[in-house]
A and B are shown apart, each in its own frame.
Chain A
Amino acid sequence: MNESKKRILEMLAQNKISTDEAYRLLSVLETEGSAAEDTPKAGTAARAKPKYLRVCIMPGSEHEHGGKGDRVNVRVPMSLIRSGMKFTSLLPPEARDKVTGALREKGIDFDMRNLKPEDLDELLEALSDLEVDVAGSDGETVKVFVE
């Protein structure tokens, strides 16, 4: 969009178009830009809020026929994750520092003090796009998704 605006201004500077024409072109570009911005917002609003996090582990076909392998089907409400994560704000500062230190030792540079409730909501909403599908060499499949 900026490229187009720049080109219009360059054309105006080179006297290829009049001021009125440049104004008209710029207003058309702005109208198109705002319409394009509105469309994804409407899509986000229409998207249903994720309710559950699902973890499914299915054994491979070899296991099914051989009678081995565990089937796991877990459904965790998102509200439970949200409430659980709220507990982090109730941790005493000393405990929080210990957790941050332990995470850093494992190579995860994450400070729990920076986790705010508004970030949490954003994070959980972003989870609606999450889909993990892992297929093992023995046919075992692991699926993590949000519904």
Chain B
Amino acid sequence: MKRPPMLMHVKIRGERRGFGLWLPIFLLLPLALAMFIILSPLILIAILVFWPSGWRKRAPLILRAAFEVFCSMRGIKVDVQSDHHCIYISAV
């Protein structure tokens, strides 16, 4: 399993002003875990509701694939520059 991205660098520059942000994703991971624990009763109810429709098998696979996609985002870079605007997003 790949390591998830630790930091995300977002830089947006407009005509007059801009800003840059270093988002600490590693700090969000414990928060996401806490949210998952808090929401676990609701998740359990959802699993029970969707049990007959066959989604019980697919849901864990989807969650795993989604986490894999999140982990694979490490190294992504999007840099779009025009004359007066600039958008830069990268995950490290």
Contact = CB atoms under 8 A, between A and B. Distances in A.
Interface of A: 51-52, 67-77, 79-80, 82-84, 86-87, 90, 92
B53 to A, nearest CB: 10
Q: Is the interface of A mostly helix, strand, loop or mixed?
A: mixed
Nearest to B67: A83
A70 B72 contact: no
A90 B71 CA distance: 18
Contacts, number: 56
6 contacts: A52-B75, A73-B78, A77-B75, A79-B2, A84-B69, A87-B65
A83 B65 contact: yes
Nearest to B77: A75
B54 to A, nearest CB: 8
Contacts of B79: 71-74
B46 interface: no
A77 B72 contact: yes
Given A75-B76, A77-B73, A84-B69, 19 more contacts: A51-B75, A68-B83, A69-B82, A70-B81, A71-B80, A71-B82, A72-B81, A73-B77, A74-B77, A75-B77, A77-B74, A79-B2, A79-B72, A80-B72, A83-B68, A83-B69, A83-B72, A90-B61, A90-B65
